[in-house]
Each structure stands twice: as C-alpha cells, then as structure tokens.
Amino acid sequence: MDIESAKLIGMALAAGLGVLGPAIGVGMIGSRAMEAIGRNPEATDKIVSNMILAIVFAEALGILALVVSFIIKFV
C-alpha cells in the first residue's frame, strides 16, 4: 500500500467516525427536547434555545473531524 492510499483511508475513517458521534448526539438532543416539551409545553422557548445551543456544540465536533480529515489528506 502506498502513502496516498493510506492517506485516503485515514481521511475516510476520520471523517466517517468523527461525524458518527455528533450525529448520534444531535439525535439524542432532539428526542430529549421533544420529550421535555411534551411534558412541559410552557417552557418551549427556553428548551428550544438550549437545544439549539447544544446542537451547535455537537456539530462543532463534526466540523472539527472534517477539518482533521482534510489535514490528513493534504499534509
């Protein structure tokens, strides 16, 4: 296996596995937020704002994984 093939495999693994965790996290955040809204509809505004903030932090990890995968490919 040459170095270019190893870089492409490393990039695919870093991007694929690095996005898997945030995707599961966003799904869990969304489901728990909908459950909380179902239990207490008066707190919808506060729950939604906190949910969006948590989703942003989870997606930041996915973007970081994407950046790392491009660093693996081009360096």
Tell me the per-residue pLDDT of 10-52, one tens digit each, with 9 for 90 and over.
999 999 999 999 999 999 999 999 999 999 999 999 999 999 9
**Confidence (pTM):** 0.81
Contact indicator for 68, 19 with CB cutoff of 8 Å: no
Supply the pLDDT for residue 75: 86
Instruction: Answer whether residue 53 shows pLDDT above 90.
Output: yes
All residues at 6 or more sequence positions from 51 whose CB lies less than 8 Å from its CB, including other chains:
29, 30, 33
Contact indicator for 26, 63 with CB cutoff of 8 Å: no
Give the start-to-end residue ranges of the domains of the chain. Answer: 12-74
- Select from 1.20.20.10, 3.40.50.150, 3.20.20.140, 1.20.140.10 the CATH code of 12-74: 1.20.20.10
Supply the pLDDT for residue 39: 97
Residue 48, CB-side half-sphere exposure with 13 Å CA sphere: 6
Instruction: Answer whether residue 1 shows pLDDT above 90.
Output: no
